Structures are given as structure tokens and as C-alpha cells.
Structure 1
Amino acid sequence: MSLIPRDSWSDFYRVFDHAFPSIRTRFDAEAFSPRVDVIEKETAFEIIADLPGVAKDDVIITYKNGALTIEASTSKTEENTDQNKVIHKERYEGKMVRSFSLSENVNPKDIYAEFEDGVLVVVVPKLETQQVEDHRITIS
């Protein structure tokens, strides 16, 4: 079984982080791809996603057509007041999305998740593979 992150536009846009920092904010306008680790264990895959500033109720995990999708959002706050104005902003606010293609040897109903201190852990248990014995095929 393989658990492969799907391509994300924000992965492409990371190329521009240092080369063109002034245009970076244009790419972040709609969605951001959170950083994840994918760990394969003997009986399951673990997807660990950093979701700083996200509340548990603002995280949605779905499985559809062989793809696991993690969506999260943070609310936008206005930091400009009459006395203060934002000079520089790097913290992300808005929608975060990440998708993973799952192979056929998982049961979507067995997938579960835990969320604590801004870190989401999604566990995707593997189905036990049946050992098929070698045998000779008779030709008729």
C-alpha cells in the first residue's frame, strides 16, 4: 500500500518564497497547504499535520473516491486599529487543504483522527493482506 500526498499548488508556490517574496501573498489568498509528515507503520499509516491557530471544530476530514482530504480554517482578524497598524504579517489566516491518494487496501470506516495543541494525527489502518500460497495452474 502506498499513501502519497497529492500535488498541491502551494507546494509549487514554495519555489517563490525566497525568489519573489513580494508576490507570495497573492498565492495565499484562497488556500494554503499545511505541512505534513506521513509515517508508515506495520499496521497503519499516520498523517501528522501542523495546524497552528486552528480550533478542533474548524477541521474537516473526508474520504471520497480513494482520496483522504484534510480541510481546516482560521478566521481572519482585523489587527488594524486607529492607533496600530500591521507592518508585516507572516501568520496564515484562511483555509488550509491537503489531500492524499489512498490505495485499495484500507477501510475508510477504520480511519480515525486525534487533535491536540494544533497538531492533527490521522491514522489510516492497513487491511491485513491475505497470504496467497503458490500453486500450479492446470492448463486445459
Structure 2
Amino acid sequence: MKFLPSFDVFDDVFDDTFRKSFFSKPMNNMKTDISEKDGNYLLNMELAGYDKDDIKISLKDGYLNVTATKNQNKEEKDEKGNVIRQERYSGTCSRSFYVSDNVKEDDIKAKFENGELKIVVPKADKKEIETDKYIAIE
């Protein structure tokens, strides 16, 4: 009796090389350069592949939050209308930056063009650090 080796169609597709190359890659979404100019912080964030409507910016408790969401569905059909290939992608990435409790929503400006989000945030006035104050004893 001769035994044939076990063979699974998915063995080659989901082997360690595939897992390492696909699942272990660091996320390169939302690379951000931060600089300072004229009393403002300038954030330049890479968001290639996203549209302006995919991006939301909010300010809460002194944190500037940037979220980008992509839902994509590509479908190719032959001349008879049969689906030949269908690919879907759905994902969200986000970043948060502490900008100060003194910064207000109206103070922040944002512009998106050519896959780059540019945000201008004013530097908040530093609160004075109180030194020890003594209370007189009567």
C-alpha cells in the first residue's frame, strides 16, 4: 500500500512567507512630518489613495484626532455579466496628537491635496507654572 502525501490547496497560498510578507509589514499609513513655523505647528500627513471625504478631523480634550476610512469594492465582469474577479478592501487608520486644551476648533486649518493632508495648529500659550505660594498663619 502506497500513501500519498497530504496536500492542501491553501498550504502554498498561506505559508509562512505569505504571512510574514503580508501580516508582518509595518503600517505605513499616515506618516506625519511635524514642523514649527511662525508660532504654528505644521503637520504634513501622507494619505495616498484616500479622498477628502474619507478623512475626518476632530478636536477633543486637547487632542487632535485624524481618522481615514476606506471602503472599496472592485468588480470586473465579462461580456455576459458574469463576475470574473471581485476585490474588496475596508480599513481605518487614525492618529492623535496632543495640541493643548487652549487650542480651539476654529484655530485649526486643514487642506487636502495630492494625497497629502496639511494641518496648521497654533502653538498654545503656555500656562504659567505656579510656584509655591505660602499662606500666612494668624
- CA RMSD, Structure 1 to Structure 2 (Å): 3.8
Q: Could you say which residue in structure 1 is the equivalent of 2:24?
A: 24
CA drift of 1:104 comes to 3.6
CA drift of 1:64 comes to 0.6
Q: Which runs of 5+ in 1 are unaligned?
A: 1-19, 87-91, 132-136
Match of 1:102 among 94, 99, 104: 99
Structure with the larger strand share: 2
State which structure, 1 or 2, has the greater radius of gyration over its C-alpha atoms.
2
- Cα distance per residue 1:11-32 (max 9 Å; x no partner): xxxxxxxxx324337x97xxx7
Q: Which runs of 5+ in 2 are unaligned?
A: 1-19
Q: Which has the higher contact order (CA 8 A, sep 6+)?
A: 1
- Cα distance per residue 1:40-87 (max 9 Å; x no partner): 22311011111111111111100011111111122223367679769x
CA 1:76 to 1:35, structure 2 compared with 1: closer, same or farther past 3 Å? same
Q: TM-score scaled to structure 2, two decimals?
A: 0.59
**Contact 1:107–1:125 (CA under 8 A) maintained in structure 2:** no
The number of equivalent residue pairs is 110
**Contact 1:46–1:123 (CA under 8 A) maintained in structure 2:** yes
Q: TM-score scaled to structure 1, two decimals?
A: 0.58
**Separation in structure 1 between the aligned mates of residue 63 and residue 29 of structure 2, nearest angstrom:** 16
Task: Verify: 1:53 aligned to 2:60, yes or no.
Answer: no
